[in-house]
Structure 1
Amino acid sequence: MAKEMLGIDIGGTGIKGAPVDLSDGSLLRKRFRVDTPQPSEPEAVAEVVAKVVEHFGWDGPVGCTYPGVVIDGVTMTAANVSKRWIGLDAASLLAEATGREITLLNDADAAGIAEMRLGRGRGHRGTVLMLTLGTGIGSALFTDGVLVPNTEFGHIEVDGTDAELRASAKAREVEELGWDEWAERLSVYMSRLEGLLSPSLIIVGGGVSKRSEDFLPLIKGVRAEIVTARLVNNAGIVGAALAAAAARSGKRGGPPGSS
């Protein structure tokens, strides 16, 4: 496997990337971020991804995330981006825009891969749930280190409403919720997931995870251990890089937790 790889994380508000040291998940250069084009049309986003590749002068394969379901390089949902992404061969679009081989996967799956391989989930058996709290809520589910891809648990209904509309980091900002109010919503949401999945560990990532001391201690009624992602908001970048390296070596992108 390569020693370093470029990872790019496409989000609803920002597109960010960096070359990653695959041995420990550290970023080898300062992260480069560009606002996600609004509206987030595929061609406009592809131009930004190409700009990130050009910024680093990268000439090898690239790992890239997408904030929705991805199956064989085709984007199947579009909750926080243009609906034109639905059914699009996005891996080919990005490959054409960048001139590079692209490995494309769900953003939360990428973050989960990074945390299971190099972060708080490393060596953890049983069921592990990764949640990324940002513009929406991403989820990644693992059982004994094996990824169940494209779970999208941010869209389950809680009290008759799509969960991410009430409990995402964006919802906290838009509604100007205090940490205690937001933690109460997260408690209800996580309790619902716990009732369905019975995880032994919940890893919380996304941009707001850097403020985890403000809300994680306030979450109530959840039996599972809840921890902050070791890679915080860089987990998506790192997971994308790991997936690209695995694809290059002929392996699948999921993290067995070893090698």
Structure 2
Amino acid sequence: MTPPTPPAPEERHPVDVGLLFDLRNPDAWHRPWADHYAHTLELCEEADRRGVGGLWFTEHHLFEDGYLPQPLTFAAAVAARTRRARIGTSVVLPALHHPVDLAEQAALVDLISGGRLELGLGAGYRRPEYALFGAEFGRRFQHTERNIAEILRLWREREVTPAPIQDQPPVWGGFYGPRGARIAGRLGLGLLHIDRTVHEHYLKGLAEGGHAPETARVSDLLPIILSNDPEAAWQRVGPHLLHQLNSYRQGALQGTGLE
């Protein structure tokens, strides 16, 4: 049997590799905060020079390890030191912020970067964060949808100045369940989650919002560890991954009475 012919070079689709940063700095590996942030900026600059496709930043509050609380602020610093990579958030929590503030911050990142912003927005999952901001955890999905819609309106109607370079920066919904997927669809966002079980809800949301199904966009975060010696790499990386997993689980329980 003749093996299948590989696709011609022009038919191949390149893969953009991106890096996600949460800027954690736990006690076990702690370094001075200013050094930690400076080192990350240098890493982003070098990754951009080497052709990385995207640099992404994420938001959480009240983590003991100093999880990045203001991703758009850091994204602006990265935008000023890079030239090619897309600059994204995965995700910012709009229910914790005023939509005018987010629309202005995001526009500035787009301007500083020369039109490279990808804005990912989500509802979050931690009660202490909502309490910190005086926001209603039980209505986080309604408030998230409302604030995203308002950000889009502010840009569309040019009610914040200066406006972003991109006519509308790409906006993504970072949702993992059916309810959020439907919100992303209704608002005409891309969905930052690849899962067959929620894709049908995303398509239903697109229809509800009057958006054509061919406008659907999906993407996701896929952790990858590259190493010539996987066993040695695991010894180095494993403790960090375990810390990350345990802190996410602990964070989900905080404020529920199940800690």
TM-score (norm 1): 0.34
Which protein, 1 or 2, shows the higher relative CO under an 8 Å CA cutoff with sep ≥ 6? 1
More helix by share: 2
Bigger Rg over Cα: 2
